[in-house]
Every structure is written in C-alpha cells, then in structure tokens.
Amino acid sequence: MPTPYGPKADAGPPGLAAKLLGFCEELRGEGVAIGTSEILDAFTALELVEWTSRDDFREALAATIAKSQDDRRVFELLFERYFFRAAEGEAVQREITERGEGGESGEGGERIDMDELRDQIRDAIAEGDEDRLRDLARLAIAAFGRGEGSGVVGVDVQRIRRTLGLTAGTQPPADDGQERPPIDRSQLTGFERHLRRELERDLIERTETLPPSRPLAELDRALPTSPTQDLAAVHRAVSQMKRRLATLGHEQRGHRKAAAVDVRRTMRASLETGGVPLRLKYKPKRPRRPEIYVLCDVSTSVTSASVFFLSVLHALHDSFRKLRSFVFIERISEVTDVFEHERDFAAVAQKISSEGGVADVSGYTDYGRVWMEFLTEISDELDPRSTVIVLGDARTNGREPHAEIFAQVAERAGRLFWLNPEPKLYWNYGDSVMAAYERYCDGTFECWTTRHLENFVNVVAGGVAVAE
C-alpha cells in the first residue's frame, strides 16, 4: 500500500548487509562452503573498493568468497541472478516503475527506424560497448511493443533478433561504403543476453512478482544417460575425481609403518638424551602406487555408460603411471598406447572405435572369451601388487560366462574390482551373470553416478568407503 508519506516500508531487513548475507546463503545452498570469517572478509574488502564499478565489486566479493574454479563458476551464475533479482524485487516492493502513467505513449508514438537501429546495434557490438548495447536492447524491445510478445522470454529474444535481421558472420557494408567487422557468435549471444535481461525486467515490472528462484542444475552429480549428452559434464565429474585421487595418495603418507632411518631427525631427537641417539626416527614411507589393469566393456548394451567409462579411463591415465587399459566386446584389445599418445578425449574415443578391433561378428559381449584372452595375454605380468578393475554389466548374451577362468584372473591379481553401470536391482536379471563373477571379486560396485565413483576411488586408494 502506498502511503502519502512516500514509498512503503521494506518487508525484509534493509541494507546491503542483509542482501549480501542472503547471497552467501544462496551460494551455500549451491554447495559452496563459505565460513563466517569469509563473509567478514568480504565486508572488509567491500569497504576498500568503489561500489560504482560493478567489476570491482564483483571481483572483491569473488576473491573473498569463491575459493576455487568450481566455486567461481557457481558464483558467476548466482551473482548475476541474485543481485538482479534483489534490485528488481526491491523495485516491485517499493512500487517504483521506470515510466510513469502514460509516459510510454510519448516514446512509442514515433516510429523507430528499424534499419537505423540495426546499424547502431552492429556498431555497438563491434565496439563492445556494453552500456550502449543495453540501451539499444531496451529500444529494440520498445520498438516491437511491449506486451505484444509471446510471454516466453526465450521466444521473444529470438523473434526480436530475427526481425532485426542480425546474424553472425560477415556483415554487409555500411551505407557510406565502409567495411564492417564480422560479428561472431559470442558477440551476438552477448546482445541476446541484454535482450533477455531487459525482457525479464519488463516482465517483472508488469506482473509485479519475481519468478521463483530455482537451484542451479546439478550437472556434476548425474551421469549422462545417452552418449549425445554433454561430454563436458562427464569431464567435470572426472576432473574432480582426478583431484581427489591426487589428494588421497597424500593423505596416506605418514600413517604407515616406516622403514628407513631419518638421520637428521634422529640427531635432533638425540639432543634430549645428551647427544646419544637412543630413539631412532624413521622416514615416512611413500604411498604405494598401485599397478592397475582396467578392462572396459564398450558393447552396445552399455553404450550410455561407455562414454562415461572411457572418460574415467582417460582420467585414470593421467593419475596413475602404471596403468594398462583394455577394451572388449567379443575380443579384448589393449588401448594403453592410444591413451598415452592421444590427449584429446574425442580422438581417443574415435580411435578406439575404429581401430580397437574388439568386435568380431555379432557385436555382443562374450565375457568368457574375453577372460581367456586376457589371461593368455597378460597373466605372466599379474602379481599380488596389481589391481584389476572391470567396467561392465556382466551381460553375456547367453554365452558361457567361464567363471572358472575369471577366478584364475582373480587369484593371480592382488585385488579385483567390478564396476557395474546398472543399479544393483537389475543384477542377475535376464542374461546378467553378476553372481557368477561376484564371489571372486574383492569388491563389486554399482557405478552410475559420480558419487558411486568417488566411493569406489576411496576404496582403491586405500581409504574407507563413504556411507551412501
């Protein structure tokens, strides 16, 4: 309710402090760990920078709050959204609108010249003038009439862009014959972002409500369900795992029984006993780097998982020096070289499918044959120090599973783990023969989310399994 004395009072606690706390709270909700000391730092830092510069404000906040690349990514996404919403929400609450009653007709009355507008936008894009682009975006929206849109912001953005005739690529020369620099995709997206933002602002002003805020998509947690899905998501998950692998080795150090005498520390300790080395000090032992053999099923029944598994292999190769990898369908084929020489994941995947030579005729997995081939090819090198990891669904398509040969593999290897891309519920249904193999494994894991994967990594690196 507007009062005669001015805008109505705020509902929430006023001021920047409350807004910042709200922002931090939202970041925490997205899984960014922010301590109270960090919030205090943020406030101190903000006292030192000019608030009029949006970039300084944002950087100062980011430097004190977002402490990793992942956090920074979330921060960027939320910063835009939160402060935009905060400002708009405040405006709605205080019933501030940008144009008064009837102000609109005066502006909209004169026709805006479409060609002129288009040229100006092109110039602004070329110069990279963000403020001007924003103004032009509003002008463009005004030109197409507010309220006439479909009501769906995304649709309107594209409609306006199409009507303006803006496309990426080389641009026609200006009227005075001057050459224009080409517009690339990202510049155009920049303009669309402005359009979207202004349309949203309009929508909020019209409806006087904010759309509900949604949590960010949880890309990191779920695995892709089809190979066409975003590979980047898999890679992000795997890179997290890679870091964890690197850290896990370190955690082990110093906890084990030691062997070699550390002369320096022994001498140092001998001081307490007048220079007589009564107590020996030992050097901490290096953690053991396991020798790993990975066998990966790449048949059609695990298509969706193979992309994921291949990228896991890819990541493992970066983390473990002694790693040999194999892919199999009907036959087995070593692909260690491919991974070592090819850094690009897409190229690896392609090379494996074209040169792997793993499918003979049918393209159905033949586990029995795979064990036999693996055993003859590699058995001499398997020893108690080696770990074998099988990535597969244990679906034999009705063929002989040859569990006894699998048992031989398990016997020679120090540890044998099985990662199954199917939920445990489906194991041993249909042609899945998981039970036949399971008793020879040191551990079987269902593995269809990164969480499962992390759990498994913990076990391999010697840690304790985290509770589900």
Is the Cβ of residue 190 or residue 414 nearer to other proteins in the bound state?
190
Q: β-strands 386-391, 415-420: how paired?
A: parallel
Residue 78 CB, nearest approach to other proteins (Å): 16
Residue 159: CB partners within 8 Å, gap ≥ 6?
144, 149, 150
Name the residue nearer to other proteins (CB basis): 193 or 243: 243
Residue 344 or 377 having the CB closest to other proteins: 344
Q: How far is the CB of 446 from other proteins (least distance, A)?
A: 26
The set of residues, in sequence order, having a beta carbon less than 8 Å from that of 15 and lying 6+ positions away, is none
In the complex, minimum distance from the CB of residue 317 to other proteins, in angstroms, rounded to a whole number: 12
Output 29 or 103, the one with its CB closest to other proteins.
Answer: 29
Question: Rounded to the nearest whole angstrom, what is the least distance from the CB of residue 153 to other proteins in the complex?
Answer: 31
Q: Given the rule CB under 8 A, which residues bind other proteins?
A: 33, 35, 37-38, 41, 44-45, 48-50, 55-56, 59-60, 62-64, 66-69, 72, 243-244, 246-247, 250-251, 253-254, 264-265, 267-268, 270-271, 274-275, 284, 341, 343-344
Cβ-Cβ contacts under 8 Å for 354 (sequence gap 6 or more)? none
Contact 332, 356 (CB under 8 A): no
Residue with smaller CB distance to other proteins, 57 or 144: 57
By beta-carbon proximity to other proteins, the closer residue of 28 and 439 is 28
Query: What DSSP string runs through 189-234?
Result: HHHHHHHHHHHHHHHHHHH-SPPPP-PPP-TTTBPPSSTTS-HHHH
CB of 231 to other proteins, least distance (A): 13
- Residue 47 phi/psi, 5-degree rounding, is -70, -20
274: left (phi over 0), alpha (psi -120 to 50) or beta: left
Minimum CB–partner distance for residue 102 and other proteins (Å): 43
- Biggest CA–CA distance in the chain, Å, is 99
Q: What is each CA distance from 102 to 92, 98, 109, 140, 197, in whole angstroms?
A: 19, 12, 11, 19, 24
Q: Which residue lies nearer to other proteins by CB, 262 or 438?
A: 262
Nearest to 336 by CA among 369, 300, 286, 291: 291
Q: For tokens 């090198």, what's the residue?
A: 381
Residue 259 near residue 282 (C-beta atoms within 8 A): yes
Distance in Å, CB of 76 to other proteins, minimum: 11
Name the minimum Å distance from CB 127 to other proteins: 14
Smallest distance from other proteins to CB 238, Å: 14
- CA–CA distance, 464 with 278 (Å, rounded to integer): 36
Dihedrals phi, psi of 105, to nearest 5 degrees: -65, -35
Q: Which is nearer to other proteins, 21 or 49 (CB)?
A: 49
Question: Can you tell me whether residue 388 is helix, strand or coil?
Answer: strand
Taking the least distance from each CB to other proteins, the nearer of 62 and 139 is 62
Between 40 and 155, CB nearer to other proteins: 40
User: Is-contact 465 455, C-beta < 8 A?
Assistant: yes
Is residue 332 within a helix (H) or strand (E), and if so which, with residue range? Answer: strand 332-334
Q: Measured from the CB of residue 267, what is the shortest distance to other proteins in angstroms?
A: 6
Q: Say how many C-beta atoms besides its own lie within 10 A of residue 208's C-beta.
A: 11
